[in-house]
């Protein structure tokens, strides 16, 4: 029998994975710092609810200090700003020939590789939607892309094994030799999601408002410009093609993708992003620095200006620190820094 899969961070993403794997008879141990959540998961069970399916599953769970032994497969699913702290705690439990899979948004694989070694790091792009509601309760709002790949692009037996495991949860999971392409594609979408969290409205309402499009286009373009400077060719999901935001592409191509995002985000029970939830519900800091701030840092290294991203980071900090509300006026502060769209731009039809 292989050792259990250790899931470090049993919130919206880690908890959903853990419940599905445990229900399928796969041996898992979830680790989380929220004592009441750990207790609920391992006693009465973790309740997965929402439009996909509802079930309650007892899942073995522990606080970090309760973990013993070493594990060959660790799925890291904490928010990006907790990555380094979580890595320090889990490292003694990572087998010498094991690996950590980042089931997170952002470029956490860089930090994980630095701490655990590149050989012990695997990448993952997760785009399903889930919310941690309270101890023992998670909303699984919509299915979404799950993509697994090694950070050096090779596909190894362990990569195939993790891909099979992900298929237990999401049958359409993808195995890739280009995980960085997917991670940068998510950064383009992710930057826009941070933008939507400047307001109190849903993701879909934000994407559907033509007056707000200059912000989404500018953010997408800046992420693409930095990705290009780093020789990454970002990949999308569904019909979202981040390359439509690449330098030189007409505004109409970008707008067609934003129209698709408005539709895509209207079909989930998770109406607002995790960023919005951190600010409006959890009243806590977001992942903006490790996820979006880093793009500006990489841009400066490559001589690529990122004024919209920089303004976005500052505005999110303003909300975190109570200097501004989540409101259309706060988003307007971002739009004011973004170039206007070409006057004749109307969304080009998306390719079938
Ligand atoms: N939710 C979603 O729909 C999506 C999320 N993602 C990404 O997935 C990652 C995880 O997000 P999500 O699941 O939403 O976050 P959650 O906050 O729901 O879950 C993270 C859990 O880890 C706990 N935690 C924090 N620090 C530690 C630690 N050092 N050791 C163990 N547990 C810890 C948190 O506790 P506490 O709350 O007290 O901090 C929380 O219970 C993020 O990068 C996010 O951007 C990607 C796609 C979709
Ligand atoms: C919106 C979502 C679920 C991606 O679709 C996300 O990544 C987030 O909430 O941060």
Q: Which tokens go with 4?
A: 């259990």
Going by C-alpha positions, the residue among 254, 270, 133, 143 that lies closest to residue 191 is: 254
Distance (Å) from CA 14 to ligand 1 centroid? 7
Q: Is the CB of 16 within 6 Å of ligand 2?
A: no
CA-105 nearest atom, ligand 2: 7
Distance (Å) from CA 2 to ligand 2 centroid? 32
What was the pLDDT predicted at 346?
64
**What is d(CA 193, CA 186) in angstroms, rounded to the nearest whole number?**
10
Q: Is the CB of 127 within 6 Å of ligand 2?
A: yes
Phi-psi region of 247 (alpha: psi -120 to 50; beta: other; left: phi over 0): beta
Phi-psi region of 222 (alpha: psi -120 to 50; beta: other; left: phi over 0): alpha
Distance (Å) from CA 261 to ligand 2 centroid? 12
CA-130 nearest atom, ligand 2: 3
State mean pLDDT over 239-261.
97
Q: Is the CB of 273 within 6 Å of ligand 2?
A: yes
What was the pLDDT predicted at 352?
41
Residue with the nearest Cα to atom 5 of ligand 2? Answer: 127
State mean pLDDT over 122-135.
98
Residue with the nearest Cα to atom 4 of ligand 2? Answer: 127
pLDDT band of residue 342 (cuts 50, 70, 90) is: confident
**What is d(CA 296, CA 191) in angstroms, rounded to the nearest whole number?**
11
State mean pLDDT over 239-266.
97
Residue 335 has pLDDT above 50, yes or no: yes
pLDDT per position as a tens digit, 262-293 = 999 999 999 999 999 999 999 999 999 999 99
**What is d(CA 188, CA 193) in angstroms, rounded to the nearest whole number?**
9
Residue with the nearest Cα to atom 7 of ligand 1? Answer: 104
Per cent of the chain over pLDDT 70 is 97
Residues in the chain: 352
Q: Pocket residues for ligand 1 (CB within 6 Å)?
A: 8-9, 11-14, 31-34, 37, 64, 77-80, 82, 85-86, 89, 104-105, 126-127, 129-130, 132, 270, 274, 287
Going by C-alpha positions, the residue among 78, 143, 138, 131 that lies closest to residue 108 is: 78
Domains of the chain: 5-177 (3.40.50.720), 181-335 (1.10.1040.10)
Per cent of the chain over pLDDT 90 is 96
State mean pLDDT over 126-142.
98
**pTM of the predicted protein model:** 0.96
State yes or no: ipTM above 0.85.
Answer: yes
Distance (Å) from CA 79 to ligand 1 centroid? 4
Mean pLDDT across the chain, nearest whole number?
A: 96
């Amino acid at each position: 029998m292989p050792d259990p899969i250790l899931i470090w961070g049993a919130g919206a993403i880690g908890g959903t994975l853990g419940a599905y794997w445990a229900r399928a008879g796969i041996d898992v141990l979830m680790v989380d710092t929220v004592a009441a959540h750990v207790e609920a998961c391992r006693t009465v069970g973790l309740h997965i609810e929402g439009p996909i399916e509802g079930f309650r599953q007892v899942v073995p769970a522990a606080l970090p200090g309760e973990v013993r032994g070493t594990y060959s497969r660790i799925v890291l699913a904490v928010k990006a700003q907790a990555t380094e702290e979580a890595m320090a705690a889990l490292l003694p439990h990572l087998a010498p020939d094991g690996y950590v899979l980042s089931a997170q948004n952002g470029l956490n694989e860089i930090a994980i590789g630095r701490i655990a070694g590149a050989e012990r790091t695997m990448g993952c792009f997760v785009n399903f939607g889930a919310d941690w509601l309270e101890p023992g309760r998670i909303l699984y709002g919509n299915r979404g892309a799950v993509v697994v790949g090694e950070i050096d692009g090779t596909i190894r037996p362990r990569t195939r094994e993790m891909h099979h495991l992900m298929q237990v949860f999401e049958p359409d999971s993808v195995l890739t030799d280009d995980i960085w392409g997917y991670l940068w594609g998510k950064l383009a979408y992710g930057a826009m999601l941070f933008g939507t969290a400047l307001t109190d409205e849903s993701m879909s309402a934000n994407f559907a408002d033509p007056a707000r499009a200059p912000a989404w286009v500018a953010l997408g373009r800046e992420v693409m410009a930095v990705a290009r400077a780093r020789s990454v060719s970002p990949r999308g999901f569904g019909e979202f093609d981040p390359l439509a935001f690449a330098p030189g592409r007409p505004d109409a191509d970008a707008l067609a993708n934003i129209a698709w995002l408005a539709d895509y985000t209207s079909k989930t029970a998770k109406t607002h992003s995790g960023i919005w939830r951190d600010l409006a519900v959890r009243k806590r800091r977001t992942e903006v620095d490790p996820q979006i701030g880093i793009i500006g840092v990489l841009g400066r290294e490559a001589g690529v200006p990122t004024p919209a991203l920089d303004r976005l980071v500052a505005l999110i900090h303003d909300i975190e620190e109570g200097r501004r509300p989540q409101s259309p006026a706060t988003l307007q502060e971002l739009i004011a820094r973004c170039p206007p769209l070409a006057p004749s731009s109307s969304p080009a039809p998306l390719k079938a």
